[in-house]
Each structure stands twice: as C-alpha cells, then as structure tokens.
Structure 1
Amino acid sequence: MTAPHAARKGARRFPDWLMIATLGCGGIVVSLEKTAVVPLLPEYPRIFGVTSDDVSWLVTVTLLSAAVATPIVSRLADMYGKRRMLLVAMALMVAGAFTASIGGTFAWALVGRGLQGFAGAVIPVGISILRDALPQKKIAGAVSLMSASFGIGSALGLPLAGLVYERLGWQGTFWVVGVIGAVLIAAVVVFVPESKVRSPAPFDYVGAVLLSAAMTAVLLAITKGGVWGWTSYPVLGLFAAAAVCFALWFPAELRNGQPLVDLRTSTRRPVLLTNIGAVLVGFSMYANMLVTTQQLQLSKETGYGFGLSVLTAGLTMIPSGLAMVAVAPVSARITNTYGAKVTLVTGCAVMAAGYLARVLFVQTVPEIITGAVIVSVGTAISMAAMPTIIMSNVPLTDTAAANGLNTLLRSVGTSTCSAAVATILASLTISTGGSTFPALDAFRTIFVLAGLAALAATGVACLIPRSRRHEATHPDLHAVAGQGQPQPEEKRELMVRGRLLSAADGRPVGRGTVTVLDSAGGPVDWDRADQDGGYAVLLPGDGQYVMVASQARWLPVSEVLAIRGTAVHHDIHFRRQLALTGRIRHAGRAVADALVILVRPGGEVSASARSDSRGNYELPLPGPGEYVLSIIEPDAHTTHTRSVVLPAPDTVIDVELGGREPRTGLRI
C-alpha cells in the first residue's frame, strides 16, 4: 500500500492512489464532455430542428468558454486555493450537463455547453495539486496519467457517446457526464487535500478581460473561418480585433506587478519553447482523433473506406485510450531517469513516426488502428512532459496559472487542426454513386501536416535547455537543504514571504527578483516581486538557504536564511541604489558646476545633476535603452550632446569636452 499523503492537521489521511485516481478520472470526464457531442453532430439538426451550421456552435461555445475560463480559473487557483477552484470548475461542468439535458431545447443546450467549458481548468489545476500534495517520487507517474487523461477521455468519448445515445437518447450523453461529475465532486471533497501553496494578490481584471476578448476572437475566427470564408469581413474583423486586444494586453501585463499571465516568465526560453511545443502537439494530436473514425466510416464504394457504423468506428479508438494509460509509467520512468526534456523529444518523435505509418498503411482496419495507437502513445508521452518542464521553470507559487496557459495554447493547436482538417476534407474530394466523399489524398495530406507538426515539435523540444533547478518530479527536490538526505514521505514545504525594501527609508522596491539557492548553490525556487515589493518562495524544508535579490536600479544583495520548522516573513533590504556616473573634463581639466541632463528620445527628462569640483556627476540609473546626454558648461551658453545607449546597470560615461568621443565602460 502506498504511504498516505500529508493532509491538513486534524484531517483524515487516505492513500495517495485515491487522490491520483480521483483527479485522473476528473481529467477523463472533462475530455468526455468535450467529445461526447461530436458523434451526434449529424443527428442534432433533426433533434433540435436547426441547421448544421447552428449545431456546430455546440462545439464552438465550449471551446470559447474554455479559452476564457482556463487562464482565469487557473490563476485564481494559485491565489485562493487549488482544490476550491477545482470544485468550482467541476460544479459548473455538472450544472452545464444538467442544464443541457433538462432544458431540452437548442438554446438551453448551448447554455449548458458554455458552462461545461469551465472544466477546461480541471487538468492544469489538478496537475498543480499533485505537485503540491504528493511525495516527489510519485509525481512523475501521477502527472503523466493526469496529462494523458485528456487524450484518454477523447478516445473513449466517441464510442461511449454512440452507445449512450442508442440506449438513453441524446439527453443521456449529458446525464452520464453530469452524474459522473457529481460523484467526482464528492470524491474531490473527501480524497483531495487543499494545497497550502498560495500567492494572494489583487486579481488582474484588465488582463483577464483583454485576454478573454483576444482569445475569443482568435478561436472564433479559426473555428468559423471555413464556414464564413477566410477572407470574409467577419473573420478578418475578428483577427483585427484580436490583434488590437493583444496590443493592449501585452503592455498592461508588463505594467502589472501581479498579472494574470506573467509575460516575463512566459518568455523565458524553457517556458516559451514548451508553450510553442504545446501548440504543435495539440495540432498533431487532434488530427489523429478527428480523422480516424471518419476514415473508417467512409463507404466501401470509395475503394478505401470500410463502411463501419458510428459505434463500431468509435470502438476502434479504445486501444488508443488504453495505450495512453499503459504508457504513463513509461513516460514517468523516462522523466525520472533522463529528464522531462528527453521525454518530450521522445514523445514528439514517436508521434511523427506514427503519422508516417498512417500515410503509408491505410489498406486494412488493423493498420489504421495500429497507426492511431502509435500516435496516441507519442501523445501521452509528450503531454506528460510539458507540465513538468513548466513547473520546473516557473515560481512554485504560480504552477496552476502557468499550466493553465500551456493548456490554453494546446487548445489553440487543436482548434487550428480542426479548421485545417475541415478545409482539407472539403477541398480534396471524389464523387461516386452520386455522392461526394473526401479523397484518400485528403487523409494523407492531413497525416503529412500532423506529422510535420510533430517533427517541428521535436525540433523545438531539442532546443529546450535543461532546468538548472531540480525538475518538479525529481526525487531529490525535497532533500534536506545542505544535507543531501531525503526527507520523510510527507512533504514539509515551507513558505517564505516578505518584501523588497530600501534600507535607507524603508520604501518598497518593486519589480525585483528573488532567487533561493541551497547551501550547495543549487537553485530551489524564485519569484518576481510585485509593484509593492512583495514576494513568496517555497522551500523544501528545514536548512540554510541563500536568498539573492536583484532589481534593475539597485545593487544586488544576498543573505543566508536559516529555516527551522515554520513558515517565516523575511524582508530583504537593498542598501545602495545604482547610479549613472562619470566625469566632465575640458582639455584634460575637470569642469565643475556643469549641468548634466539625461533625456529620453521622446523628450522626457529622465534625470539631471551638477558636476562637483572634480568634474564628477551622478544620476539615478534609468532603465536600459537609448538616451540623449546633454552637458551645459558653467557659462550657460556652451552645450555638448551625445547619444548614449545604456544596456547595463552602474554605467560610467566620462565626457571629454575637448572634442574627443566619450568613453563608455562598466564600473565593477
């Protein structure tokens, strides 16, 4: 029996596998509700008395609500509690299922599907709960299973939807998801502990609104481009609106000390490349799920179709789902042995090989199923690695938000794939027996595109640097600091909170960075302080740690902090503000009382000062960029101007007024 996980004081303890199973089933149910309507799309126009174009909104509205909800719910999970927001997302999913089934009309079905989109945050939030609650040696396997649950549910959703529809009608496809979701809510309350890792902060409403608007416009344009026309005014207008929203969102997030999405962290090379890989993997993965059943259901009259029923074609996806479950321990072993980067490279390469098989072998049902299984195995391995890389390169207090963004970008890939598949299947067709069908070349073209996406993802994964901090699943992450001995099975993570302050007057120093190292110099955690100087870092347990704080306009400081069994508040004080310094001379002689002015190219005065008796001047250090340095001699008539670039702090610019070029260097 596995050892129990650490719960809150006074709470009951349950085996870890119950928590893992609960969260894994939650991920599977989320995927089920997304795919449950797909096999019934041809039937819904008759059921609801609407057009096929109207019915497509049952898929689109869920996609759009998930794009809005996933980053918001994930950020709220980091701020106010991961289990709490997990329950909110699952409750909305259940409410959506019952709304759609009880309402009985197309309008109520749309409302229900919109509510179900909030469940998109279940997987990233669940992964973050696993990181916080499980012993390190168990995280890799649990994260692999949770990540693969997206593909498992999608593979099982197709046959299950057909079976339930035949037995219980279309309402049954919603009822089943709702009932299972309600049971899982009770299981989460009992078996899943609330994480103690939180980072309370004001919510970024502006960032949430702008990102929601931008993603809604992008995804709506992508999903409806094939129907409305890619050059139609609505689609072009949506892309233009998305561009405007993103143009407003980026600077707003950079100005906010606690943004919805930390762009500075997201542009770090490991995180950025992993998120690019998420788009490519999402595209490649979804082609396998979208096309396989369609290929098997094609009429035998085409010469390459097999004429399988909806239910039978759906059943052929079960081996893919089972393969994803079986490969979870394999991906965990690769991650624990070689690192998550190798896992991601391996998974993407397997996907590419699977699509090569799908292009070449299309003559029999077993060949098609085998190709689909190979792609699914690669998908499971790839998706298991991405959360680990993300969690190893972001502050430990922001793991849910970072995983939420990764999940959102994966959805962008799946949406793009859906649009591409629809366009290709409609463009490459053959006519036989008075009917029009997608040509075999259409399927092969889709497989080639998906294979190229997987190959590109492999290349991107190869560029990801290894994390200097222990990976989130590394067994040694929770070694006692400075002793190299593993801790007991229960986690003893301790939160250190504090502020960055000026030692001179105690005012806050915002937008700095705090890095924590162990006694051997290995990275432990880091955080970016907000505009009030507040920071929070998570330490693995008792011991001595080195705290290093830096800010663009202050001299960095470091301190040794001894932790003994309790969370602490620790303020870090900057002692000296960095300055732009130099000396003014004329013909080798010091020029006193010269006025030195630093001006931004736009005309704004950054700082000004007078030189002393030895010609020395000192200005508060501005941010990096181009500036105009003007010197007015004491006679107030003679001026000298230089264009300077400040790429580094504590820059020394000496100016020779006798006509020589200024000398620029770094003061060490």
Structure 2
Amino acid sequence: MQAEVLSQQAHRAQRVAEPPRGFTMAILLAAVAASSGITVIYTVLVTLYKAFPGSNSVSWTVTAYWLGSAVFAAVSGRLGDLLGYRRILLAVMSVAAAGAVVAACATDVGILVAGCVMQSIAAGITPLSIGLVRENLPPARVPAAVGLISAAGMVSAGLIYICAGVVVDHYSWQGGFWFKVALCVVAVAAVRVWAPPSPPNPGVRIDYIRGLAFAPALCAILFAVQEIRVWGLGDVRLWALIVGGMIVLGLWARHQLRARHPLINVRLLKMREVVLANACMAFLAAGAMQLGQVFSLLAQQPAGTHAGFGLSATAAGLLMFSINIVALVASPWSGRVAARYKARPAAMIGMLILALAWTSLIVLHRSLLLFVPGAVLCSFGLAFTSTALYNQIVETTPAHQTGEATGMLYVFFSCFFAVGAQAVFSLLRSATAGHSGASFPADSGYVSVFVYIACSSIAGLLIASLLPKRRTH
C-alpha cells in the first residue's frame, strides 16, 4: 500500500513539473459548461411557461436543479478523490449533456424536470476541476488557477445568458438546451485530449447505500425551504420535512463518522478552518450571491413604480454581463493575494468590499448612472470572496480530499442560496407598488434587501477574520 502511495506521489510530481499543453484551456471550457447549467434554464424559463400553458410544475425545473446540485456536488467530488478527477469529470459532463438532450426532446413537464435533474450533476464540475488543477499544477500556481475557474464561471454565465437568449428568440426553447449540449461536448473533447488521467485511490471500499442517505434528507429540507412562501410557516408539512430531514442527517452523520472509508468525510467539519470557510460561504450564498435575481428585477421593473429602470430583457442581459465581466480581474487578483499572503486576507478584502458596496446601493440604486458602479463593485467583491473561500479549502485540506472538501463547500452554497432566495423574496414582497395592473417591489423593499445583504457581508467579514493566519496544511 505504501509503495502504491509513493508511486502516485512520484507520478503527480512528474506531471506537476511539466503541466500539459492545453490543460488550462480544458479546465476553462469545463467551467463554461458548469456555468451553462442553471443559466440556460433561467434563460428559457419564461418561454417554458408559454410552451406548457396551464402547468404549475414548470418552476420545478429550477427547484429540481438546485436540489440535485446540492447532492451531486458532494458525491462527484468524493468519487473524483477515489476514482480520479478526470474520469469522473468526463462522466459528469456526459450526464449533463444527456440531461440537456432529454430536456430538449421533452414533450411534457415531467420529462423536462427529469432532464433538469440530470443537468444538475454539472454542479460537480467545479470541485472536480479544482482537484484536477491541484493535481497537475505546481502549488504556487494553484490559487491563480482557482481564480481563473471562478472568473470563467461568472463571465461565461453572462455570455451564455445572451447567446442562449438569441438562440431561443430565433429558434425555440429547445435551442437553449441544444446549445448546452454543444458546450458540454466541446468541454468533454478538450478534457479528454488535454487533461492527463488521474491515478485512482487503491484499496478503498465505500458503503454507497448508507453513504447516500444524506441525499433524500437534504432534498426534503431544501424542498421545504422552497415551499415556505406557498405553505406558510404554520404548515405541518413544512416542519415535518425539516425535522425529519434533520433527524436523518444526524443519523447519517453518525454513521459516516464511524465508517472507516465514508462516502462523505464529515470529519472534515471537525477542522476549524473548514467550518469557518463553509460558514463564510453560507453568509455569501444567503446574501451577496442573490445579486442576479435582485439586479435583474431592478433593471427590468417599470420606471413608473419609482423603483426600477424599465430596461428591456436584452438590455438587462447586457447590463448583467457588463457587471459580471469584472470577475476577469477580481478572481485572478484574489488568487494572487492568496498565493502571496494566504486566503484569509483575500476573504476579508472581498467581504469588506461587499459590505461597502451593498451599503452604498441603499442610496445609489435610485439612479442608473450611480447604480452601475455600485453593482460592479458588488460583482467584484463576490468574485474576489468566492475565489478566496475555495482557496481556503485548498490550503486547509490534503490533496487527496480536494474534490470532497470543495464539493462540501458547494453543498453549503446550494443550501443557503435557497434560504437566501426565500429571505430576499420575502423582503421584496414586504412593500409593493402597482403598475399597469401588476404588482412590483416598492423602493423600500429594495432598501430592505440591500440592508440585509450588507449585514450578511459584515457577518461574513467577522467570520473570515477568525480564519487562521498561518497555513495548516
């Protein structure tokens, strides 16, 4: 066993010394495929309501995607650690492409939702890509590479929003999913050609059945959170799902702690650095990560409500792309800061920028000319912070647990993103303004959201300050 481990280390050292040509391009194309997952669904959502009139299940395309992503991110990362990052990455992107084909060929909502569940496996691309980067690049280059992955995801999301919109407008809603198939196929080809195979971890036997018990429990809790606004806080079904899910999660965690080779190594959560990084991600996801839905709504809301700019969908898409493009600067810069000073100061800088930017929007959101710089600063801080948190996990955990640890980080992101979305929706609906027979959030609703996100950023800043000042691994 020791000889096999030494052989793997020698093999990795040889690859790190000579990074393969085209490797960075393959990783970036994988990041583009990952960002296309939910972006394409968001793009075609309005058209789907028209294509399936009278159906109340269309919204499940988004709900099912987020439920699936919370599960697949952790499982894919762990399988990458055990069986090789390249092998699992190719499998994940292939299943995501197959899911897009199913959705494009769907004749009813049920098949469409099933296709979206398959596409949600794309959530595993990011942890697998980070594991592949750490496996093939020198340690000094890893933080910057993580920054590039984060930047590629944010910028390509803006481009995909525009491109998929053009395809949908000039072809059909199915065209959006075929566009995603093309992106996944290109990414699979690039990874197959330019990414070297990863050596599997030998001699590890996993109890997959009991290890996957967290999946239905997590889905039950997230589903309950999604249905809060429909059922209400006093509904028995809501608390039955939440309490039942928590009980199952507790039993599952106890089993995984006792298992010699757990599917999800919850022992990582005993590490103070990992817990703090996930706590930072929780506040980021529940707060600043809500940027997309808040800014898109504010941009397109009729100006007659005295709380919007009245932009068209195309203009709003271009605005969101312009806001997201600053990630090309923010993410690599965050990576360089982490490489030189560690991830802790990078996370603190990002959270501080977010707190200041969202606080400024309390006043600046009333003018488009002033709103845009504030929104750009919000996007800059978001990219800077998310890159720093992934680098914090890379700094803290051993190389053979990279996929698992970053996948767990994504699970925290998915869970608290759902919680934050409900909080933002409730705040926006706390005050409404009518226009042409429709109801929109009032100005005070947006102010409440900006205050809420600024406070969550301050909380994240305080937690980031508790991160260790020295590398633990």
Name the TM tier (shorter chain): over 0.9
TM-superposed deviation, 1:383: 1.3
Q: How does 1:446-595 map to 2 (within 5 A)?
A: 446-469=449-472
Aligned equivalents of 1:236, 1:160: Cα separation in 2: 41
SS of residue paired to 2:366 = coil
- The question of 1:428 aligning with 2:438 is answered no
TM-superposed deviation, 1:179: 0.6
Indicate how the Cα distance of structure 1 residues 199 and 420 shifts in structure 2: closer, same or farther if over 3 A, else same: farther
Q: After TM superposition, what 4+ stretches of structure 1 lie above 4 angstroms from structure 2?
A: 6-11, 13-17
Aligned equivalents of 1:178, 1:430: Cα separation in 2: 41
Letter in 2 for 1:176: F
Residue segments in structure 2 that go unaligned for 5+ positions in a row: 1-9
Any conservation in 2 of the 1:78–1:199 contact (CA below 8 Å)? no
Aligned to 2:141: 138
Letter in 2 for 1:47: A
- The question of 1:76 aligning with 2:82 is answered no
Any conservation in 2 of the 1:101–1:174 contact (CA below 8 Å)? yes
Any conservation in 1 of the 2:37–2:120 contact (CA below 8 Å)? no
Aligned equivalents of 2:243, 2:472: Cα separation in 1: 40
Q: Deviations over 1:155-200 (max 9, x none)?
A: 4443333222212221111011111110110100001112237365
The count of residues paired between Structure 1 and Structure 2 equals: 463
TM-superposed deviation, 1:133: 0.2
Aligned to 1:33: 37
Aligned to 2:25: 21
Q: Which has the larger radius of gyration?
A: 1
Task: Tell me how large the CA RMSD over aligned residues is.
Answer: 2.3
Aligned equivalents of 1:450, 1:145: Cα separation in 2: 26
Any conservation in 2 of the 1:61–1:110 contact (CA below 8 Å)? yes
Of residues 88, 92, 110 in structure 1, which corresponds to 2:91? 88
Letter in 2 for 1:229: G
TM-superposed deviation, 1:206: 4.5
Higher strand content, 1 or 2:
1
Residue segments in structure 1 that go unaligned for 5+ positions in a row: 1-5, 471-668
Aligned to 2:122: 119
Aligned to 1:169: 172
Letter in 2 for 1:355: W
Aligned to 1:342: 345
Aligned to 1:377: 380
Any conservation in 2 of the 1:283–1:415 contact (CA below 8 Å)? yes
Aligned equivalents of 2:437, 2:400: Cα separation in 1: 61
- The question of 1:355 aligning with 2:358 is answered yes
Higher helix content, 1 or 2:
2
Higher mean alpha-carbon deviation, 241-250 vs 103-112, is at: 103-112
Q: How does 1:15-414 map to 2 (within 5 A)?
A: 18-51=22-55, 53-196=56-199, 198=201, 200-414=203-417
Aligned equivalents of 1:181, 1:22: Cα separation in 2: 11
Q: Deviations over 1:37-74 (max 9, x none)?
A: 224433322211243x4111000111111122111111
Any conservation in 1 of the 2:29–2:190 contact (CA below 8 Å)? no
Letter in 2 for 1:29: A
Letter in 2 for 1:344: A
TM-superposed deviation, 1:8: 8.6
Aligned equivalents of 1:266, 1:435: Cα separation in 2: 47
Any conservation in 2 of the 1:354–1:371 contact (CA below 8 Å)? yes
Larger RCO: 1 or 2 (CA < 8 Å, sep 6+): 2
Higher mean alpha-carbon deviation, 84-93 vs 140-149, is at: 140-149
Aligned equivalents of 1:368, 1:158: Cα separation in 2: 21
Aligned equivalents of 1:200, 1:466: Cα separation in 2: 36
Aligned equivalents of 1:129, 1:333: Cα separation in 2: 19
Any conservation in 2 of the 1:77–1:83 contact (CA below 8 Å)? yes
TM-superposed deviation, 1:28: 2.6
Aligned equivalents of 1:56, 1:438: Cα separation in 2: 20
Letter in 1 for 2:90: L
Any conservation in 1 of the 2:307–2:441 contact (CA below 8 Å)? no
